[in-house]
Amino acid sequence: MDDEANQLGVVEIREAVKIAAEKGLDLVEVSPNVSPPVCRIMDYGKYRFEQEKKKKVAKKKQHVVQLKEIRFKIRIEEHDYQFKIKHIKEFLEKKDKVRVTLRFRGRENAHRDLGEVLMNRVAADVVAWGEIDSRPKFMGRTIIMTIIPKK
């Protein structure tokens, strides 16, 4: 193929190199495994530049999912709770995962049922923006739950 995408047919290598040199372009082997090998006459530097440009544009458009963490305590006031729910909503709208952690300190460990109630309340309050990836699990003195954004 020449630079205007016209088929030249089967051509000797020396003649193809000569044609490419006359036009000031490169002879690039496209498919080496077929018989006869397929080559193309093009400006290889320009081609590589365009490929790099496409990669950069694709990389700009992709979103890397981050894991954000919000920590609760068992005795949280209503305003603090609403403030943290607002942050969870913002993270989920930005398509980030959120890990909700509830830590028990001292005698609070005896009231694990209150921790479950709080985690279920969090799950119910964020159901509009995300879905539960992992249900609340007890891990020592903490309860951990993961929420992912809705598709």
The CATH T-level fold of domain 67-149 is: Translation Initiation Factor IF3 (3.30.110)
**In the chain, which residues fall in CATH 3.10.20.80?**
13-59
Binned at pLDDT 50, 70 and 90, residue 4 comes out as low
- Number of helices (H), then strands (E), belonging to the chain: the values are 4, 6
Binned at pLDDT 50, 70 and 90, residue 122 comes out as very high
Q: What angle do CA 87, 92, 96 make, to 5 degrees?
A: 105
**In the chain, which residues fall in CATH 3.30.110.10?**
67-149
Tokens, residue 100: 């909700």
Residue 52: HSE in the Cβ half-sphere, 13 Å Cα cutoff: 6
pLDDT at 84: 94
Separation CA 147–CA 101 (nearest Å)? 11
Judged against a pLDDT cut of 60, whether residue 6 lies above it is answered with yes
The CATH T-level fold of domain 13-59 is: Ubiquitin-like (UB roll) (3.10.20)
Separation CA 98–CA 125 (nearest Å)? 14
pTM above 0.85, yes or no: no
pLDDT at 19: 84
pLDDT at 146: 94
Task: Choose among 148, 51, 31: nearest CA to 97.
Answer: 148
pLDDT tens per residue across span 40-96: 888 888 889 999 999 998 888 777 788 999 999 998 999 999 999 999 999 999 999
